Structure 1
Amino acid sequence: MTLEAMRRAEIARLNDHFRFTGEGGWTYLSRGVAALPIMAKEAAIRAVRHFADFTPDNDPHGEHDCALLSVGEHRIMWKIDYYPHNDTRDHAPDPADPATTKRVMTIMLAGEC
């Protein structure tokens, strides 16, 4: 495995851990998701937490940082962005380093992109 492949695998591992636990960052719901009935909102969050259907088509860089899925009648998109741990204005220099990177996930309706 190349150094770059190992780096991407570590980013994917960190993203999966964050997505499942919420540790190491913040999660935001878009207005559309926040306005869903509680059961639909909970189903969307649970689907994002447990998403594992990554393919080269929906995850070309192998970092598990974005996906589109169906939850009931809703198309949900989620994405993870990276920021310096202490400043959300600039991108983090290395998303493979959890000591310097805060992950921010946004869960939205596909039509809100």
Structure 2
Amino acid sequence: MPDMLVQPPPSTTERIATLNDRARLGLDCTARIIFTLNLLDSLSDGTRRNDILAQARIMKAMRDCTFSDDSPERDMAWFEVDGVKVMMKIDYYDAAFEYGSEDPANAAETRRAITLMKPEDY
């Protein structure tokens, strides 16, 4: 019988990073995505059509962004869309989005809120 390699379970940080990636990639139907008005105003003329197109460009850039070493949970990133600097921040809430989550590594009890903003909105 061949030796089976047993991998250690993922660390809490790795688990949170994986869950954050799922939310960022649109695979977590419980996650909320929030765009600040200041960011949308920088990328759209305010018409409904152009607001939607701006949101689509932001979402594509967010899904393709890379993370620095100081964001091991992949919960904060900076990138550009049409020359506008964008900041992404993921926060963790309870299932009702009322209080902070006690265990962001537990997908059953944690909801993610992804805020997309200009750095000065933070």
TM-score tier, shorter chain, comes to 0.7 to 0.9
**1:84 — aligned with what?**
94
Deviation for aligned residue 1:63: 0.3
TM-score by length of 2: 0.77
One-letter identity of the residue aligned with 2:120 = G
Q: Quick one: which of 9, 13, 35 aligns to 2:14?
A: 9
Quickly say closer, same or farther: Cα 1:63–1:2, change in 2 above 3 A: farther
One-letter identity of the residue aligned with 1:54 = F
Over the aligned positions, Cα root-mean-square deviation in angstroms equals 2.0
Quick one: distance in 1 between partners of 2:107 and 2:113?
A: 12
One-letter identity of the residue aligned with 1:84 = D
Q: Which has the larger radius of gyration?
A: 2
1:61-97, Cα deviation, whole Å (9 max, x unpaired): x1000111122210000100000012x2321110000
How does 1:1-113 map onto structure 2 within 5 Å?
6-21=11-26, 23=28, 24-35=30-41, 36-37=43-44, 38=50, 39-51=53-65, 53-57=66-70, 59=71, 62-86=72-96, 88-113=97-122
Q: 1:21 aligns to what SS in structure 2?
A: coil
Q: Which has the higher strand share?
A: 1
Residues paired across the two proteins, number: 107
Quick one: distance in 1 between partners of 2:73 and 2:84?
A: 24
Following superposition, which runs of at least 4 residues in structure 1 exceed 2 angstroms of deviation?
33-36, 38-42
- 8 A Cα contact 1:33 1:41, kept in partner: no
TM-score by length of 1: 0.82
- 8 A Cα contact 1:16 1:64, kept in partner: yes
Deviation for aligned residue 1:2: 8.2
Gap runs ≥5 in structure 2: 1-6, 45-49
